Amino acid sequence: MSEPEGNPAGHRDALTSATRPSNVPPMDTMKLLLGATVALLLGALAVSWQGMNNGVKNTSPDEIARLERQIRELRAEQDKIQIDRQMQQLRSEPIATPSQNAEDIEAMKRQMEAGKEALRKLEEENAQRDAKVAQDEEGLLGQRELESKDSELRRARMISEALLIGKVMEYVENPEQGDFITFSVLMPEQVQTGVIVAIRRKTGILGQLKVGEVTAEGAIANPLPGFGPVRPQEGDELILPPQY
């Protein structure tokens, strides 16, 4: 059977040729291989189309085998290039040198030493705290034992530990309406009209007063019967009377 016009056989050979030009840069290898694969596929289509035009039922087995062999070779070449690229990437990664490893080991040693030193200091602080707590407990037990024998000592401790709720600002003597004090309020939740407060000076109480008025500027309190002879002074502390 004669070939169609235009020499399709020669055209097929040109399409199926996958020779790499010598002047193609290495970086274009993948593009060249892909182009060659496309050319082979086009060649296969051309062969199939030619066979149909000539009334041939099937393309020559030798031609199909040759095309398949070339495709396999191109795929193998692509796989090889991919493996080479991965190997180059692995080689380009920095490898830890012995000096770097030694520096890392020294850094770890320094960190361990710092951790040991911090732990040692913490243990010392805990030991000092435990010793102080034990000493305070011994002192408290001794104080309680003394207070059990001396009620005045217990009373003085309770007065000194009472909650501070205000401080005297002024003491006013008024024979007609009665004496009173004005004081600053330090704990508003504890100071209300009618509340009984006491004036503390050191570990003693000068006397008790009853709150008569509470304002935003402070409060006013009047001395209760039995108030001591000592006059309140500015700065005296006001507390809630302890229950002895």
Q: Is the confidence at residue 216, as pLDDT, over 50?
A: yes
Q: In the prediction, which pLDDT does 95 show?
A: 58
**Do 88 and 13 fall within a single domain?**
yes
**Do 101 and 87 fall within a single domain?**
no
Full domain range(s) for residue 222: 163-239
Q: Distance between CA 102 and CA 109 in Å, rounded?
A: 11
Asked if residue 221 lies in contact with residue 241, where contact means CB atoms within 8 angstroms, the answer is no
Cα Rg of the chain, angstroms: 52
Task: Name the pLDDT band for 45 (thresholds 50, 70, 90).
Answer: low
Q: In the prediction, which pLDDT does 203 show?
A: 84
Question: Taking residues 62-82, what's their average pLDDT?
Answer: 79
Backbone angles phi, psi at 169, to 5 degrees: -100, -40
Asked if residue 159 lies in contact with residue 208, where contact means CB atoms within 8 angstroms, the answer is no
**Do 75 and 102 fall within a single domain?**
no
Q: Distance between CA 193 and CA 80 in Å, rounded?
A: 97
Q: In the prediction, which pLDDT does 56 show?
A: 44
Asked if residue 201 lies in contact with residue 236, where contact means CB atoms within 8 angstroms, the answer is yes
**Do 176 and 205 fall within a single domain?**
yes
Q: Which two tokens stand for residue 111?
A: 């960190």
Backbone angles phi, psi at 225, to 5 degrees: -55, 140
Q: Distance between CA 119 and CA 107 in Å, rounded?
A: 18
**Do 31 and 70 fall within a single domain?**
yes
Q: In the prediction, which pLDDT does 19 show?
A: 46
**Do 140 and 128 fall within a single domain?**
yes
